[in-house]
Structure 1
Amino acid sequence: MTGMNDATPSYSQAVQAVAERLRAHSGPIVVLSHESPDGDALGSVLGLTRALRALGREVIAPMEVPRYLRFLVQEGEIVPALTEWPQGALAAVLDVDNNDPTRVAGADLTVFDGPVVNIDHHGTNRRQSDALLVDPSLPATAMMVADVVEALGAPWTEQVATPLMLGLNTDTGSFRFDSVTPRTFEAAARLLSHGARLGWINDNLGQHPRSYYLLLREVLTTMEFLYGGRVVLARVDDAMLERAGATWEDVESYVNILRGAEGSVLAVMVKDYGDRIKLSLRSRGGVSAQNVAVALGGGGHVPAAGATLTGPYPEARERLDAAVATELERVDQGG
């Protein structure tokens, strides 16, 4: 597989630098991603982990895999969070800024003094690590990991290509988002040529437990249509989960259901934990979910972002409403 962004020499150089750092490290490699991992996080971790193991490297991949993604994980290849770092380790941090240790899950980066490699596609990345590959123009970190796998000279197999396809598929909304470019389809075609099982991925992602639908029924009763329907918001709390026999994992895809409301430009899914609020945001039509999230101390991409606010929902809602109003005013004024 050739580089997926060959037109930019600095990108190609960064791919080579990351690959060289991984290839030259003789000790264990700990592959990490962000809290509440999504398809791009897991897909990137599995793709790189399997490629490095095929090259005979010792790789540790700690992650709490959500139920809806467990179909992709083989027994024993993902481990629980580390309580201490192995001696002589290198940290490979994927799909999250390594300079934001509160968001990196699986091991505590604040006590780690070894080398760090960072591969990420978030525009808010602070770009500080020993070897760095960051490109916000690419729709999924998995695309960059695929380039690193190629630069490593690792053998391409279905087991490596399929998780990378998962990352590309989920972070593009099954190739529906504006972030998709001709290069995205070229990357997908190359992964398919290496055996990636796109149909199998979509079939598994489309299956939900009974609790998912029972909880969805409750969540839909909380829907609010604000600003003439331009903003759609719904909320879920522990009491709803208990009544439905559901878990927080069941909530993950609900924001995309809200985003489907006709006329909406911003969808907000509120996860109310009582003492804190987590927001999932999706946008279109020139509205930036990222701007709203950053105003609330979070981050992400223009069409998809998130934030966590401390305090009860009424207080968080005031801050959310203010951030949304500011963003809509910017758009309305042609900003």
Structure 2
Amino acid sequence: MTASNASSTTYPADVHAVAAAIGAHTGPLVLLAHENPDGDALGSVLGLARALRSAGREVIAPLDVPRYLKFMTGEDELCAALTAFPEDALVVVLDVDNNDPARVAGAPLADFDGPTVNIDHHGTNRREALAVVVDPARPATAMIVADVIDAMGIPWSEAIATPLMLGLNTDTGSFRFSSVTPETFGCAGRLLAHGARLAWLNDELGQHPHSYYTLLREVLSTLEFQHDGRVVLARVDDTMLARAGATWEDVESYVSLLRSAEGAQLAVMVKDFGERVKLSLRSRQGVSAQNVAVELGGGGHVLASGATVSGSYAILRERLNRAIQRELNRADSARA
């Protein structure tokens, strides 16, 4: 599969097609996002769910929210994973390719034979559904959801705008990433005008449990600077979590911390589950995390990607190093 981050030339028509498909459906709407939801996945689901419910629609949103994002959810807004879909449902898949059911959490999407709508911003998306709007030029799916809500003519409120600001804020690194465009700030301005609580979001996101710091001490003991300091890598496993009294949720933001190392162009956080390994990759200065992830069977964005690989880390390590070396060589050639 060839990854693309080009902006969609059919974006306005796609937004209206998705809005029309959702608006025309009279049955229940099931909103799904990817496994281990981040701020953009949660914000996109919550923002759209609140908008649709305010318009009188029946919405089911099965999502397992990580601890650090629970401040965002209200009682009974989300539910446990479904074992089957309600009759006459339309499934709306957000922030992940609906054609990758293994990554879609909350319901057995592979067993669903009804209509599906897909709203996403990943360049690797295959764009196959009843209605699709995918634009990798948008740094967050929440931006696209905001346009869909406008296209549906649903009145705005702070409750709708704030979770979408969460998605926009987190997927842009608090508006620090190179993916930020004038349109990004335009969307942020619209959300603020609708009452989005940006300062509150930043304050809540900045809070960490004590276990975050005790685990960080363990993780930093594994730190490696590779390829003359261009790559920084760290690893975590169950034994380290047990010693620190931490959980896997505490690991999520470490890769961004690694990326801040002076001279680092690629940060790799290795989550070692023993029989499988999950990689979180962040890049800068012309190096593509996406290229490394795709070579290992994963995907994502140029600057932020991931992959899950079966087998031990000892076996994966050489494959990972070869993929990194090829990407560094490509980046060097592109600059030459």
Matches within 5 A, 1:282-297: 282-297=282-297
Match of 2:320 in 1: 320
* Secondary structure of residue in 1 paired with 2:233: strand
Matches within 5 A, 1:292-307: 292-307=292-307
CA RMSD of aligned residues (A): 1.0
Q: Quick check: 2:40–2:171 contact (8 Å CA) kept in 1?
A: yes
Q: Distance in 2 between matches of 1:183 and 1:274?
A: 43
Match of 2:223 in 1: 223
Matches within 5 A, 1:81-230: 81-230=81-230
Q: Provide Cα deviations, 1:93-116, integer angstroms capped at 9, x if missing partner.
A: 000000000000001111101110
Match of 2:3 in 1: none
Q: Distance in 2 between matches of 1:15 and 1:74?
A: 28
* Secondary structure of residue in 1 paired with 2:127: coil
Structure 1: 5+ residue stretches without partners: 1-6
Q: Provide Cα deviations, 1:216-243, integer angstroms capped at 9, x if missing partner.
A: 0110110000011100000000001001
1:200 counterpart letter in structure 2: W
2:229 counterpart letter in structure 1: G
* Secondary structure of residue in 2 paired with 1:175: coil
Match of 1:271 in 2: 271
Q: Quick check: 2:8–2:134 contact (8 Å CA) kept in 1?
A: no
Instruction: Note the C-alpha offset of 1:155.
Output: 1.4
Structure 2: 5+ residue stretches without partners: 1-6
Q: Distance in 1 between matches of 2:212 and 2:188?
A: 30
Match of 1:4 in 2: none
Q: Distance in 2 between matches of 1:76 and 1:125?
A: 31
* Secondary structure of residue in 2 paired with 1:88: coil
User: Residues 8, 268 of structure 1: CA spacing in aligned structure 2 closer, same or farther, 3 A cutoff?
Assistant: closer
Identity %: 69
Q: Distance in 1 between matches of 2:10 and 2:223?
A: 46
2:87 counterpart letter in structure 1: Q
Q: Quick check: 2:8–2:135 contact (8 Å CA) kept in 1?
A: no
Q: Distance in 2 between matches of 1:223 and 1:8?
A: 39
Q: Distance in 1 between matches of 2:98 and 2:9?
A: 24
Q: Distance in 2 between matches of 1:8 and 1:245?
A: 45
Q: Distance in 2 between matches of 1:9 and 1:269?
A: 35
Instruction: Note the C-alpha offset of 1:69.
Output: 0.3
Runs of 4+ aligned structure 1 residues displaced above 4 Å come to none
Number of equivalenced pairs: 329
* Secondary structure of residue in 2 paired with 1:137: coil
Q: Distance in 1 between matches of 2:248 and 2:128?
A: 32
User: Residues 30, 255 of structure 1: CA spacing in aligned structure 2 closer, same or farther, 3 A cutoff?
Assistant: same
Q: Distance in 2 between matches of 1:316 and 1:199?
A: 41
* Secondary structure of residue in 1 paired with 2:117: strand
Q: Provide Cα deviations, 1:107-146, integer angstroms capped at 9, x if missing partner.
A: 1111101110000000000010000000011100000000
Q: Distance in 1 between matches of 2:271 and 2:286?
A: 25
Match of 1:68 in 2: 68
Matched, 1:40 2:55: no
Instruction: Note the C-alpha offset of 1:154.
Output: 1.1
Q: Distance in 2 between matches of 1:150 and 1:84?
A: 31
Q: Distance in 1 between matches of 2:168 and 2:276?
A: 31
Q: Distance in 2 between matches of 1:232 and 1:253?
A: 15
* Secondary structure of residue in 1 paired with 2:318: helix
Please, what TM-score do these two structures have when normalized by structure 1?
Answer: 0.97
* Secondary structure of residue in 2 paired with 1:309: strand
Match of 2:14 in 1: 14
Q: Distance in 2 between matches of 1:189 and 1:153?
A: 19
2:332 counterpart letter in structure 1: D
